[in-house]
Structure 1
């Protein structure tokens, strides 16, 4: 069962685990772990997506309980009326708070987009980031005797594909566990020594105006066991009190999914 973190007569939000697809795709036609169908079966009614979260990313996923609700939410996302807040663990020490305005060329899928035009213009992409904490651990990687990580808060202004992952990589602070834009040796070290066997990117919070009541609404999603283990090992417990938790009843991601869910996410 998925953790439902918000529900009323119009909307439902879940804490999507890392490794779960939002909906079925012909690219993963044999995948049985799908959020939309699971939520539908869990609450006994159809749900309608308004946005998406990358498969390896965990956190808040908001859906409508009718096509009209899904449409209204999608319009709010498109108009950038919904504020999104993420947290990530990145390589190196990132301590400043800044806004990165760095255009991105759309990433094409080798299969799904094989007939698309490859030469495309870069699209505007803006992300806010703020370093919250750092750590240095005595683990040798490459020519270095230790590894350095930072806990970072991220807020995308635009919504390009893999925007936060690509922006952090551009800053030379790739997100740990990012098999496409990150550092393979760092990812292996983080998995082996600290149990970070997933993309360490979590959609922590959505803030918005309710599309039906007009009331302000903030939805938060708690951290999973992999995140909580890392927070403890790196001495970061207490930094994110709104999403940290002592216990977590769901399955551990490294037990629930095989290695094929880790690669190419």
Structure 2
């Protein structure tokens, strides 16, 4: 069975003062039966790793090269040295805001693997693609272009995030989530597949009841322990 993961992406939020939220989350789940992963801004990775207890810490992005003249970028070995165990690659905001292609995402995933990190590879369709009925073909293209050879449950996680649901409050129907997750599962039988897009405590239980949903990649609801803890509990009970 793929591992269960409750992952939080803090995006461009958080300072050292917010580490109290991680301590509160760790206190609420001192011996979690699922993997809890929080991905803060790079400025907090080392600090969070020291304070996280049973919670794993990840980066939000990495460069494809292990070092070099890339001002402002973070290399995967740097994240690992700071205490990270994973890194998100190919998030829709990176694909959109920074024009990241599937090839770039795959190169970053390979870099994560080389550094001993789990690559959380994000995929998902736009609203226009959903309405045009091309969701599954878009997913196929992203999977084939973004997931490197050698991907396994120990080093790779797939996060399905329909772009039109991220931070909008809109959630696909359970049937829509089930269709995409089953499609991904048919191609990657051993990888954990997370769902992302307006997941919160009030809908987590029903989402985790969908076949082949092994957890969630959560944005805003991961910033506060009181909001994220019910999601973790729902996954533990799924």
TM over 0.5: no
* Larger proportion of strand: 1
TM-score (ref. length: structure 1): 0.26
TM-score (ref. length: structure 2): 0.28
In our comparison, the structure showing a higher alpha carbon Rg is 1
* Larger proportion of helix: 2
